[in-house]
Structure 1
Amino acid sequence: MGRGPGVPPRTPSRQTPPTALRQLLAELRGPAAAPRPLDARALAALAANPGCDRRALLDGAGVDKAALASALGSPAPFGQSQFAFMRGHAFEARVKADGGRSLLALLGHESPGDVRVPDLAAAGPEGRAARTALALREATAAGAWALLDHPMLALEVAGSPAYLEPDAVVVAPDGRWTVVEIKSFPMLDGSADAAKVGAAARQSAVYVLALERVAALTEGASVAHTVLLVCPKDFSNLPTAAPVDVRKQLSVTRRQLDRLTRVEDIAARLPEGTRFDVSACSSDELARAVEEVPHAYAPECLAACELAFHCRDRARGAGAVEALGRSVRGELGGLTTVDAVLAAARGEAGDPADPTVEALRRAQVLRTEALACR
C-alpha cells in the first residue's frame, strides 16, 4: 500500500540522538506498550533476511509481532510449551549446579580449582551490560577461571541497541572467552539434530559478535570462535557437550547485520501518525501501517518470524514469485510475478533474447510434449 497523496513522510534523520530515537520507537510501538526485547534468536533471523525493512523496523521498535499477527488475523504458532520451558530450565540449573565445575569439565578442564562466579545484578539492561563488561575485564585481569551466568551483552543493530543474554560465558586464565549454549534437545550417540544445531550456531554467533565488541576494549582478551553446545546425553538428563565452530555463521551474521538499513531511516519514509499499537489501533489501521513498510517474504520466514503467515498471504495475493522461494526468485531475474512468468513461458510476453524467457519457453515446450505422451 502506498503513502497516498498529501500524506507527508516523517522528517529523515541520519543522526538521530539516542533520546529522540527512543521517543520515535515508542511512538511507533505505542506509548503504553513495553518494548519487546530483541534477542539473539531474532537477530539471527534478521541477519538471514537483511532486506526485510518490515522486520527490521518492528524488531527495532520492540513491537510484539505475535500480538500484531493475531490482530491482523494471521497468528503464528510460535513459542515453547510450558513443559518444554520448565524442562529446559531444570536442565540448565543442573548443568550449573556446582558453580561451573561441570561446565569446565565439559570444556576439558577437570580440575580448574576455584571458579569465580561474579554477581551480574544491576538496574535495567544497560546497567547489566555495563556490569557484565566490568566482570569480564576483572576476570581477564585476574588470570583465573570465571563463569558468567546469564551475562548481558549489548549490540547495536540498524542504529538501535539490542541486549543479548547468553546462557553462560566462561573466562579462561589465558583471557579467552567462550560462549556456552545450553539446549534441551538430546545429543544421541554424540550427535544432535542438524537443523537444531545450525539454529544454535547462528544464535551463538550473535553472542560471539557482541562479545568481540567488549574484548576489543579489554587488554589480553580474545573470543573463541568455537562455542560449547551442552545438551542432554541420549535419553537421560545427564549433560554432554560438543564444540561447534561458528566462524562461518559469524562472518555471515556480521555482513548481514552491517547491511541492515538504520531503523530511523526506515521510519522516516512512513507517513506521520503511523503506529503499530495493538492495544489502541483497529485491525484495519494496523494492516495499513504494516503495508507501509516493505517486506522481503521467503518461505524460510515461516520458521523464524511471527508475521510470516501475514506476509505470505500478501505475497500470494500479489502473485509475487518470492512466495516460491529465494532460489526461484533469483532464477527468474526481472520476472517478478507468477502471471509474468506464465506469460513469458507461453510466448505472450518477454524478450525472446532473454535467457530466462528462453528457458521458460523451452520448459513449456517440454511440458507440452510430456503431457501429450500421456
Structure 2
Amino acid sequence: MSDSLGSGAPRPPQTTLRHRLAELRGAAAVPRPLDARALAALAANPGCRRRALLDGAGVDKTALASKLGSPAAFGQSQFAFMRGNAFEAKVKADGGRELLRLLGIEEPGAVRVPDLAAAGPQGRAARTALALREATVAREWALLDHPMLALDVAGSPAYLEPDAVVVHPDGRWTVVEIKSFPMIDGSADASKVGAAARQAAVYVLALERVAALTDGASVAHAVLLVCPKDFSNLPAASVVDVRKQLSVTRRQLARLTRIEEIADALPDGVTFDVEGCSAEQLAASVEAVPHAYAPECLSSCELAFHCRERTRLSGAVEALGRSVRGELGGLTTIGEVLAAARGEAGDPDDPTVHAVRRAAALRAEALACR
C-alpha cells in the first residue's frame, strides 16, 4: 500500500503548518502550550501579529526576551506559586468537600468525580468531553478536577486546563477559578478579579464548543471564584459575571489573523531558535514580524520591554498609549506631532493638525502667564 503522504502527494495544510511552526521554534525546542492567561492577553491585543505567531509556534518568549537583552520583569514568584497550589489542594481535599460546601452540597458522596486521565492533551480533551456529556445525560452533580478543553485560535489548537468545572443536575456547566489572593469582607482586589474573569472567559468560550454538541447542556456565564477568606486559609466564594469579558474575548479572537498567513508572509531565514541563534539573528527575526505595542503590554507580554524600546527608537506614537494614538489620526510619529504643533508641517485644514496647534498655543499661553 502506498503512503498517502509520500513524495508524490502534498501534505495536508495542518501538517504543513505544524512543520513550519516547529522550524520557527527550533527543532530541539519543546513547544510552550497556550494557556488561558496567554489567550486572554492575546485577545486584548488581537492586532499584534508578533505575539500571535510566537504563541502559536510555542516559542518560549521569556527565554527569547532574555536573549534579546530585555528580560520580562513580571511573573508569579515561586512563593506565590506554591501558596496557590497549597490553597487549591485544600479546596479540593477530601473529594472536594470544601468546594462542594461552597456550592451548597454537604455530602460529597452525592457528587460524581470522573477520572479524566488519558494520553496527551488531545486524549484528555476527548475524555473531558465524554465525562461532561455523561454527567449531563445522567442529570447528576459532577466535579471535573482539572479538565482539558480545546479551543481553535487563529487556526491553531490550544489546550486549556481550568481548575475545575461543575456539572449541575439541570445540565448547567460552571467554571471554577481558584485563586490565592484574599477576599476581604466579601470582596477582592478589583484588578485581580478582572484578570481572573478574563481568564475564566476563555474557559467558558471553550466549554461552549463542547456544550453545542451535547443535548441539554448549557454553560453558565457566571463563574465561581474561590479565594481565601480575609486573612485566613478558609475558602470563600464569589459569583463573577463574565458576560462582558466573554463577548470581548470571542470578538477579539475572531479578529486574529490566521497563523499560517503570518508565517507565509515571513522572509526566508526567520527563526526563533533561542538555543541555536545569536541575539542579533533573533532580533532580526523578531523585527520581521509586525507588532502592535501598547503600554498595557507591559503587564501581560514577555516581549513588552523589547517592543517598547523599538517603538521609542522609531518615535512611534504608540508608545504614548492607544487612546493618544487614536486621537492623532494620520500623525504617526512624535516628530510629526511636534512639527505640526510648531507649524512646520501638516495640513492646516486637517482637524488633528488644527487641534495639535491649538493645544500648543494654549500651552504657550499658560506658560507665559506663570
TM-score, normalization by structure 2: 0.95
2: CA distance, partners of 1:151 / 1:243: 20
1:156-195 matched pairs, under 5 angstroms? 156-195=152-191
2: CA distance, partners of 1:111 / 1:121: 25
Corresponding residue number in structure 2 for 1:73: 69
> Which residue identity is paired with 1:353?
D
Corresponding residue number in structure 1 for 2:303: 307
1: CA distance, partners of 2:218 / 2:103: 17
Corresponding residue number in structure 2 for 1:6: none
Residue 213 (1) aligns with residue 213 (2): no
Corresponding residue number in structure 2 for 1:199: 195
1: CA distance, partners of 2:93 / 2:269: 51
Deviation at 1:108, TM superposition (A): 3.4
Deviation at 1:111, TM superposition (A): 4.9
Corresponding residue number in structure 1 for 2:21: 25
Contact (CA 8 Å) 1:28, 1:277: kept in 2 or not? yes
> Which residue identity is paired with 2:161?
E
Deviation at 1:135, TM superposition (A): 0.8
Q: Secondary structure at the match of 2:133?
A: helix
Residue 63 (1) aligns with residue 59 (2): yes
Contact (CA 8 Å) 1:180, 1:228: kept in 2 or not? yes
Corresponding residue number in structure 2 for 1:346: 342
Residue 285 (1) aligns with residue 281 (2): yes
2: CA distance, partners of 1:323 / 1:121: 46
Deviation at 1:128, TM superposition (A): 0.7
Corresponding residue number in structure 1 for 2:237: 241
Higher relative contact order (CA 8 A, sep 6+): 1
Corresponding residue number in structure 1 for 2:262: 266
Corresponding residue number in structure 2 for 1:5: none
Corresponding residue number in structure 2 for 1:124: 120
2: CA distance, partners of 1:219 / 1:110: 28
Deviation at 1:371, TM superposition (A): 1.2
> Which residue identity is paired with 1:283?
A
2: CA distance, partners of 1:292 / 1:169: 41
Corresponding residue number in structure 1 for 2:364: 368
Contact (CA 8 Å) 1:143, 1:172: kept in 2 or not? yes
2: CA distance, partners of 1:353 / 1:310: 37
Residue ranges of structure 1 left out of the alignment (5+ in a row): 1-14
Say which of 319, 323, 327 aligns to 1:331.
327
1: CA distance, partners of 2:316 / 2:195: 28
2: CA distance, partners of 1:17 / 1:370: 62
Residue ranges of structure 2 left out of the alignment (5+ in a row): 1-10
Deviation at 1:113, TM superposition (A): 5.2
278-287 or 108-117, which deviates more: 108-117
Deviation at 1:312, TM superposition (A): 0.1
1: CA distance, partners of 2:216 / 2:268: 49
2: CA distance, partners of 1:325 / 1:117: 47
Contact (CA 8 Å) 2:95, 2:108: kept in 1 or not? no
Contact (CA 8 Å) 2:96, 2:108: kept in 1 or not? no
Deviation at 1:104, TM superposition (A): 2.6
- Per-residue CA deviations over 1:229-285 (Å, capped at 9, x if unaligned) read 000000000000100000000000000000000001000000122110000011000
Contact (CA 8 Å) 1:181, 1:200: kept in 2 or not? yes
Residue 359 (1) aligns with residue 355 (2): yes
Q: Secondary structure at the match of 1:178?
A: strand
- Per-residue CA deviations over 1:190-245 (Å, capped at 9, x if unaligned) read 00000000000000000000000000001111000000000000000000010000
Contact (CA 8 Å) 1:100, 1:115: kept in 2 or not? no
Corresponding residue number in structure 1 for 2:7: none
- Per-residue CA deviations over 1:165-213 (Å, capped at 9, x if unaligned) read 0000000111100000000000000000000000000000000000000
Q: Secondary structure at the match of 1:73?
A: coil
Deviation at 1:112, TM superposition (A): 6.7
Corresponding residue number in structure 1 for 2:50: 54
2: CA distance, partners of 1:112 / 1:367: 68
2: CA distance, partners of 1:146 / 1:107: 12
1: CA distance, partners of 2:137 / 2:325: 52
2: CA distance, partners of 1:18 / 1:141: 34
> Which residue identity is paired with 2:315?
G
Say which of 300, 313, 317 aligns to 1:317.
313
Deviation at 1:105, TM superposition (A): 2.4
Contact (CA 8 Å) 2:51, 2:291: kept in 1 or not? yes
Deviation at 1:115, TM superposition (A): 0.9
Contact (CA 8 Å) 1:101, 1:115: kept in 2 or not? no
Aligned residue pairs total 360
